[in-house]
Chain A
Amino acid sequence: MILSTEDLETLWLTLRLATTVTTLLLLIGTPIAWWLARSQSRWRGPISAIVALPLVLPPTVLGFYLLLAMGPSGPLGMLTQSLGLGTLAFTFWGLVIASMFYSLPFVVQPIQNAIAALGERPLEVASTLGAGPIDRFFTVVLPLARNGFITAAILGFAHTVGEFGVVLMIGGNIPGETRVVSVQIYDHVESLNYTQAHWLSGLMLLFSFSVLLALFVWQRQHNGLFRSRA
């Protein structure tokens, strides 16, 4: 086996982190996306800007502020301490929270665009047929905006897998807890352990390419489907 046990452990941890983050982000991102797509509020602009912020901010900046916020005298740290949870830095759940900030735009924006593209009409029709809000969401919005949700899930997952700067800042490189695959590659490179770095990097490259390829092929087929139906 070319990959060591430690390498495999980082791979497994990365997958666990990305799955947790994607699941939570779909749950939290959907109401945000819904609101952003349909609200006329004057807060829409500022909230959109906050959601998009991680696209612009360097990850180390985001990580540095999260480290301060999660510290014993930071707002997040004071909150978690008062709840009896201790501080979040250097824990798996600390990474989950940080990654959720970091990957938020990648999940919210595709869902928001898909919901915006639906327009009012299908919902109005469903409403006149007697469907309640929850019913409308599951029987109208979800199937019609399915493309957006799948894109969001894949991008959120892939982006979390590739995360590095934030994890480096708040993770503390603890095996099995916060040492994800990108950090492991960095360690290999920095300790001039280039062979193992190549193997892990190659694997990451292959993974990222396959995910994106699958996404684009899938999108193409489905857009074709919609066009032929119209």
Chain B
Amino acid sequence: MHFRTLLKLLLIAALPVSPSYAETLTIAVASNFISPMQAIATQFEQASGHEIRLASSASGKLYAQISAGAPFDLFFSADQDKPQALERIGKTVPHTRFSYAIGRLVLWSALPERQARDARYLIAADYNKLALANPLLAPYGVAAVETLSALKLHASSEPHWVRGENIAQTFQFVESGNAELGFVALSQLIEHPLHRNTPYWIVPQDLHTPILQDAVQLKYSENKVAARAFLDFVKTPEVAELITRFGYARPTAQNETPEAP
């Protein structure tokens, strides 16, 4: 008898207490976008009553985890390739991918005697090492290499390159002074109160292809109303404006790329 009572109590305890319409979303987000995402998630939770859990890591790792069946509802990548690749292997909800932000590349030096507010030091080759994100792995690295090619400095600068595995590591190389000059992300400088007001050169966007960051709804979330609601929320002008305050440019309609076959 006692056992049955206990069983009943356990069953009651296991019932969800929260109202059924509140859902929990797990969002996989590229490490470089975690700060804006936290702000967006908080606003969304307040506005909708849904709960959000954020899992942040390098986009490549998140891609591998999602292909292996990780329980994520949405994926905010730092590039376009990985959401597109997930589309191709059928891990996404069709027609949900869109560009939510454009990364801005900046040339920067952490040394106080350097005032790298233009490409002067770069053109004069006046640096020991030039830090950039590994172009094989990171869109910021691709943009940096394209910029160097556009300035006809690719070949002459290459022997001085040090490649960070991602833009965060590249930032450490420059921030610690080990590399006198480096291509980092505007969002990183804005996030660091210490460096926000140091001089830097925002690379004009016509020197490289735009660093588009795509988001996509994942198959795992198919029955969740909140997943679509969150994507719509990110597209509102208020959130787009919030994203620009973190050092990103706003994507326009012409940035959209067609669905992968």
What is A's interface to B at a CB cutoff of 8 Å?
64, 67-68, 70-74, 77, 86-87, 89-90, 168-170, 172-174, 186-187, 189-192
What is B's interface to A at a CB cutoff of 8 Å?
58, 60-61, 63-64, 85, 111, 128-129, 131, 134, 136-137, 161-165, 169, 172-173, 176-179
Known: A173-B163, A187-B136. 5 other contacts (CB 8 A): A90-B129, A172-B173, A173-B164, A191-B137, A192-B60
| B residues near A174, Cβ cutoff 8 Å | 161-163
| A residues near B58, Cβ cutoff 8 Å | 190
CA distance A192 to B77 in the complex (A): 15
Would you give the shortest CB distance from B79 to chain A, in whole angstroms? 11
| B residues near A172, Cβ cutoff 8 Å | 129, 131, 161-164, 173, 179
Do A192 and B162 have beta carbons less than 8 Å apart? no
Do B128 and A191 have beta carbons less than 8 Å apart? no
Do A192 and B134 have beta carbons less than 8 Å apart? no
CB-defined A-B contacts under 8 Å, sample of 17: A77-B178, A89-B173, A90-B173, A90-B179, A169-B172, A172-B131, A172-B161, A172-B164, A173-B163, A173-B164, A186-B165, A187-B165, A189-B60, A189-B64, A190-B165, A192-B63, A192-B85
Do A73 and B173 have beta carbons less than 8 Å apart? no
CA distance A191 to B165 in the complex (A): 11
CA distance A77 to B177 in the complex (A): 10
CA distance A169 to B173 in the complex (A): 9
Would you give the shortest CB distance from B50 to chain A, in whole angstroms? 32
| B residues near A90, Cβ cutoff 8 Å | 129, 162, 173, 178-179
* Cross-chain pair count, CB within 8 angstroms: 67
The 5 closest A-B pairs by CB, nearest first: A172-B162, A173-B163, A190-B60, A89-B178, A71-B176
Do B165 and A73 have beta carbons less than 8 Å apart? no
Do B178 and A87 have beta carbons less than 8 Å apart? yes
CA distance A74 to B60 in the complex (A): 33
Given the known A-B contacts A186-B165, A192-B60, A192-B85, are A71 and B177 also in contact in the complex, defined by CB atoms under 8 Å? yes
Do B60 and A173 have beta carbons less than 8 Å apart? no
Do B169 and A187 have beta carbons less than 8 Å apart? no
Name which residue of chain B comes closest to A183, CB basis. B165
Name which residue of chain A comes closest to B60, CB basis. A190
Would you give the shortest CB distance from A5 to chain B, in whole angstroms? 16
| A residues near B128, Cβ cutoff 8 Å | 86-87
Do A173 and B177 have beta carbons less than 8 Å apart? no
Name which residue of chain A comes closest to B163, CB basis. A173
CA distance A192 to B162 in the complex (A): 22
| A residues near B169, Cβ cutoff 8 Å | 168-169
Name which residue of chain A comes closest to B131, CB basis. A172
CA distance A123 to B111 in the complex (A): 56
Would you give the shortest CB distance from B258 to chain A, in whole angstroms? 21
CA distance A172 to B137 in the complex (A): 14
Do B161 and A70 have beta carbons less than 8 Å apart? no
CA distance A111 to B255 in the complex (A): 62
Name which residue of chain A comes closest to B172, CB basis. A67
Do B137 and A71 have beta carbons less than 8 Å apart? no
CA distance A148 to B111 in the complex (A): 47
User: Which residue among B161, B163, B173 has the maximum number of chain A CB atoms within 10 Å of its CB?
Assistant: B163
CA distance A169 to B166 in the complex (A): 11
Name which residue of chain A comes closest to B64, CB basis. A189
CA distance A90 to B163 in the complex (A): 9
Do B137 and A190 have beta carbons less than 8 Å apart? yes
Given the known A-B contacts A169-B169, A173-B165, are A191 and B129 also in contact in the complex, defined by CB atoms under 8 Å? no
Given the known A-B contacts A64-B172, A67-B172, A189-B60, are A173 and B134 also in contact in the complex, defined by CB atoms under 8 Å? yes
Kindly identify which residue among A67, A173, A187 contacts B178, using a CB–CB cutoff of 8 Å: A67
Would you give the shortest CB distance from A104 to chain B, in whole angstroms? 23
Would you give the shortest CB distance from B133 to chain A, in whole angstroms? 10
| B residues near A71, Cβ cutoff 8 Å | 176-178
Name which residue of chain B comes closest to A64, CB basis. B172
User: Which residue among A64, A170, A173 has the maximum number of chain B CB atoms within 10 Å of its CB?
Assistant: A173
